């Protein structure tokens, strides 16, 4: 994969980079994406497993699935794409990382202050009063909140729910003000997250897409790299460091 020299020149000059990632960044860690042909939503029903109504209908099935996914995610490690993004955070005057992923692999790779638009799969909270709960949940003994009696649920954002207000406000600010916006490993199908790249583009940012497949963003992106993020991102970091060394 050739990294466009023009992109490296731009990255060496600009001050503020925003990166938004989706499930594709974690694919090389062994975590399934959602909308690829072998993705999770090809096998499972999101209405049943990722909505409040599905959870109210059958909380045991939902907890079974999230416990299973927690086990898988718990056995996975960050890949070179996550590490490259963690390295990028010190290469610019301002760097913002926005993710739709719930797996916390960015944080494990060393990224700070990650804006988690879709929550995380590690924590739980009460459906009714929002208090956080740390304990593991067994689908055979579904726990209720000790304060209000509500059902305890995983802290992921489900379809039809609002995104965490603070994370989304900061993500919008990043998109509106960045010089370069990277859209990495996302199908750009799920809103409002998918809108951030367009917000950045309309605000004058250069948009870079890294994805082996074409998405609805592709034709609006200024640079498109059709390859795996675990291959492309370390090359970008390497080229940028080389360029800076030669030009300083």
Task: Give catalytic residue positions.
Answer: 118
Which residue stretch of 10-18, 64-72, 196-204, 211-219 sits at the interface with ligand OAD (rule: CB under 6 A)? 211-219
CA dist 91 and 103 (Å) reads 25
Among 8, 17, 28, 84, binds ligand OAD (CB under 6 A): 28
Among 118, 153, 201, 239, binds ligand OAD (CB under 6 A): 118
What part of residues 75-94 is at the interface with ligand OAD (CB under 6 A)?
Answer: none
User: Taking CB under 6 A as the rule, does residue 106 contact ligand OAD?
Assistant: no
CA dist 95 and 58 (Å) reads 41
Among 4, 14, 16, 35, binds ligand OAD (CB under 6 A): 35
CB of 188 to ligand OAD, least distance (A): 7
CB of 87 to ligand OAD, least distance (A): 17
Cα dihedral sign for 2, 6, 12, 16? negative
8 A C-beta contact, residue 243 and residue 12 = yes
Residue nearest to ligand OAD (CB): 24
Q: Which two tokens stand for residue 194?
A: 């998918």
8 A C-beta contact, residue 207 and residue 195 = no
CA dist 198 and 217 (Å) reads 8
User: Taking CB under 6 A as the rule, does residue 54 contact ligand OAD?
Assistant: no
User: Taking CB under 6 A as the rule, does residue 27 contact ligand OAD?
Assistant: yes
User: Taking CB under 6 A as the rule, does residue 23 contact ligand OAD?
Assistant: yes
CA dist 148 and 190 (Å) reads 33
Question: In terms of CB distance, is 12 or 122 closer to ligand OAD?
Answer: 122
Neighbours of 18 (CB within 10 A): 27
Which residue stretch of 34-42, 139-147, 164-172, 199-207 sits at the interface with ligand OAD (rule: CB under 6 A)? 34-42
- What CA dihedral angle connects 166, 102, 98 and 50, to 10 degrees? -70
Q: How many residues bind ligand OAD (CB under 6 A)?
A: 28
User: Taking CB under 6 A as the rule, does residue 212 contact ligand OAD?
Assistant: yes
Q: In what order do the strands lie in the sheet with 119-126?
A: 132-133, 119-126, 152-156
């Amino acid at each position: 994969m050739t990294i466009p020299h023009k992109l490296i020149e731009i990255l060496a000059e600009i001050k503020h980079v925003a990166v938004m990632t989706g499930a594709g960044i974690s694919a090389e860690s062994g975590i399934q994406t959602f909308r690829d042909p072998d993705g999770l939503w090809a096998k499972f029903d999101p209405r049943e497993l990722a909505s409040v109504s599905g959870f109210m209908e059958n909380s045991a099935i939902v907890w079974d699935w999230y416990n299973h996914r927690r086990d898988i995610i718990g056995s996975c490690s960050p890949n070179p794409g996550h590490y490259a993004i963690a390295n990028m955070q010190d290469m610019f005057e301002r760097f913002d990382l926005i993710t739709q992923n719930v797996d916390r692999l960015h944080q494990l790779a060393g990224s700070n202050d990650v804006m988690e638009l879709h929550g995380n799969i590690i924590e739980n909270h009460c459906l009714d009063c929002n208090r956080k709960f740390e304990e593991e949940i067994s689908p055979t003994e579904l726990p209720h909140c000790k304060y209000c009696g509500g059902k305890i649920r995983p802290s992921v954002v489900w379809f039809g729910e609002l995104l965490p207000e603070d994370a989304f406000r900061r993500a919008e600010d990043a998109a509106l003000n960045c010089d370069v916006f990277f859209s990495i490993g996302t199908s750009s199908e799920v809103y409002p997250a998918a809108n951030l790249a367009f917000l950045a583009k309309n605000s004058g940012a250069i948009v870079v897409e890294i994805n082996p497949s074409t998405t609805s963003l592709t034709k609006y992106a200024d640079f498109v790299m059709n390859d795996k993020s675990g291959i492309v991102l370390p090359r970008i970091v390497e080229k940028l460091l080389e360029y800076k060394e030669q030009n300083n």
